[in-house]
Amino acid sequence: MVTPRQMNHLSGTRTKAYVETYGCQMNVSDGELMQGILAGAGYDIAERPEDADVVLVNTCAIREHAEQRVIGRVGELYRLKAARPDMVIGVTGCMAQRLGERLLERAGYVDLVMGPDGYRSLPETLRRLRQGDRGSAAGAVTAPHARRRSLPVMSAPNEYEPERLAVVDFRQEENYEGLEVRRASSISAWVPVQRGCNYRCTYCIVPYVRGAEKNRAPDRVLDEVRGLAKRGITEVTLLGQTVNSWEHGEWRFPELLRAVARVDGIRRVRFTSPHPNDVTPELVEVMATEPNVCRQLHLPVQSGHDRTLKRMLRRYTVAEYLERVELVRAAIPGIALSTDVIVAFPGETDEEYEATLDLVRHVRFDDAFLYKYSEREGTPATRLPREQFVDPDVAQQRLKRLIDLHRDIQSEINAAEIGREVEVLVERRARSEGDMLGRTDAYKVVAFPGGESLAGRYLHVRLTATTGATFRGVAVDAPAAETRVA
Ligand code: 5AD
Ligand code: SF4
């Protein structure tokens, strides 16, 4: 077997891999994991697909639209293959897991389809593919046109056709431990504590593409966070599909959150996405009493009507959701709340939709991610009677009204913040010339004049204006030299 390191040595150049990620924070974190695994196996990580020998598109399957974007993008990347025939194009992540070998059949130029539980084997699998391409340096060549198999079949070494593979088995024993991660930021880090989901909301593809819930051991999580803090990272976000349902042995999520918040050097802890049912008094207590836990909570509601919630299998009523909101707001005054909503779930009546608007008016979310229902093959909601599916124009109107309502509320909330002084963690350069971007404890974005040397620092900033969703500000406590444009 020849490793990329050995190949690099033989050819004098290093094999380059490029990973492009779509979708949620878990996927962004998985993108960092894939880059780490590849870098650990001797690959160079390319910043552009044009420079890469291996291009991986790390995909999302949550809505149809997300998948269409990926199909378009993979088609574009294929054009690069004209100049680099040896190039391997891989599709990873949730869409890869969902479609598996069907993706190889549909997109003839995709060489590799791999779901998350396969990432550990990425270097080994790429080696097989690349050896197949070259007629093999090591003699272990796989069969041509492997369109319908999920595992390679060994065949005669003189066969010369490129191998194509789908690696989409769920591996219950895969715990993602001991793998290298190449983190994009040296300021803030994602820390997955849970993978998969046991909830099975009727619209959602996640349980089918990410499998059942798997929780990491608390000592492993804490070791990772301590390691991050040693490297100067001060903000961590714990990740899981229903992160607050995390449990391990005697441990429950509030204890994990408290322990992470107390790691030396960590100043801010966030977690996403919680399920409302697992927002317990114990969790609220930790949030209220641990100063390093940010005053921000994402609380996906999905609908403001009990009948729809029941048909979505969300397992709470509107009243129960609102009780959680009250509990959190009473204990943590000023906490920023965000949510997810799906409009036009099959069978949603006008009245039920109006109830969602009422809920949004009542809670007044600081931020909201608002979607039209998207049918996902294999999920229970697809089996609802066809006549219940909401007309696309009606769905679009429902979404638009909801977006308008939320934007108005958000602008009002943020306008009331103008003049306040807040602490931001400075992240990176803003798009506006001479500005840096920081985030408040409440996860709100502030652009303010400053130089790149401020990245990673905590600064006090006075909020001077808002676009509605984001802020402009001026630093109030930075040394003058550092606030000048570098
Ligand atoms: N259609 C539309 N939105 C969906 N979401 C999940 N599945 C679907 C679907 N089939 C939304 C939910 C979830 C967020 C991550 O994506 O609001 O909270
Ligand atoms: Fe999907 Fe529901 Fe699980 Fe969230 S809780 S990932 S919406 S099934």
Please provide the DSSP assignment of 24-74 as one string: SHHHHHHHHHHHHHHHHTTPEEPSSGGG-SEEEEEE--SSHHHHHHHHHHH
**CB of 272 closer than 6 angstroms to any ligand 2 atom:** no
- Structure-token pair, residue 150: 């999920």
Please give the pLDDT value at position 138: 32
Give the single-character DSSP code of 390.
P
How far CA 128 is from CA of 159, 346, 369, 434, in Å, comes to 13, 45, 41, 48
The residue whose CA is least distant from atom 6 of ligand 1 is 204
**CB of 274 closer than 6 angstroms to any ligand 1 atom:** no
How far apart CA 55 and CA 87 sit, in angstroms, is 7
**CB of 302 closer than 6 angstroms to any ligand 2 atom:** no
Positions of the chain with pLDDT lower than 70, given as ranges: 1-12, 132-162, 478-486
**d(CA 342, ligand 2 centre) in Å:** 12
- HSE, CB side, 13 Å, CA atoms: give it for residue 154: 3
Which bound ligand lies closest to the C-alpha atom of 198? 2
**d(CA 375, ligand 1 centre) in Å:** 10
Which bound ligand lies closest to the C-alpha atom of 203? 1
How far apart CA 437 and CA 443 sit, in angstroms, is 12
Mutate which of 27, 200, 204 for ligand 2? The one with the most ligand atoms within 8 Å of its CB, which is 204
**CB of 373 closer than 6 angstroms to any ligand 1 atom:** yes
Please give the pLDDT value at position 415: 98
**CB of 342 closer than 6 angstroms to any ligand 1 atom:** yes
**CB of 62 closer than 6 angstroms to any ligand 1 atom:** yes
Task: For residue range 273-286, list pLDDT tens digits in order.
Answer: 999 999 999 999 99
How far apart CA 376 and CA 101 sit, in angstroms, is 18
Please give the pLDDT value at position 14: 85
Please give the pLDDT value at position 85: 84
**CB of 204 closer than 6 angstroms to any ligand 2 atom:** yes
Relative to the CA of 375, which ligand 1 atom is closest? 10
Helices (H) and strands (E) in the chain, counts: 15, 21
Please give the pLDDT value at position 156: 34
**CB of 365 closer than 6 angstroms to any ligand 1 atom:** no
Residue entry with tokens 């996906």: 300
Which bound ligand lies closest to the C-alpha atom of 301? 1
**Nearest-5° angle of CA 265, CA 270, CA 271?**
130
**CB of 345 closer than 6 angstroms to any ligand 1 atom:** no
Mutate which of 26, 63, 298, 389 for ligand 1? The one with the most ligand atoms within 8 Å of its CB, which is 63
Q: Count of CB atoms within 10 A of residue 454's CB?
A: 22
**d(CA 374, ligand 2 centre) in Å:** 14
**d(CA 370, ligand 2 centre) in Å:** 15
Mutate which of 371, 398, 402 for ligand 1? The one with the most ligand atoms within 8 Å of its CB, which is 371
**d(CA 64, ligand 1 centre) in Å:** 10
**CB of 371 closer than 6 angstroms to any ligand 1 atom:** yes
The residue whose CA is least distant from atom 2 of ligand 2 is 201
How far apart CA 136 and CA 130 sit, in angstroms, is 8
Task: For residue range 363-394, list pLDDT tens digits in order.
Answer: 999 999 999 999 999 999 999 999 999 999 99
**d(CA 199, ligand 2 centre) in Å:** 6
Which bound ligand lies closest to the C-alpha atom of 277? 2
**CB of 200 closer than 6 angstroms to any ligand 2 atom:** yes
First-to-last alpha carbon distance for the chain, in angstroms, is 49
**CB of 302 closer than 6 angstroms to any ligand 1 atom:** yes
Q: For the whole prediction, is pTM greater than 0.75?
A: yes
How far apart CA 354 and CA 24 sit, in angstroms, is 28
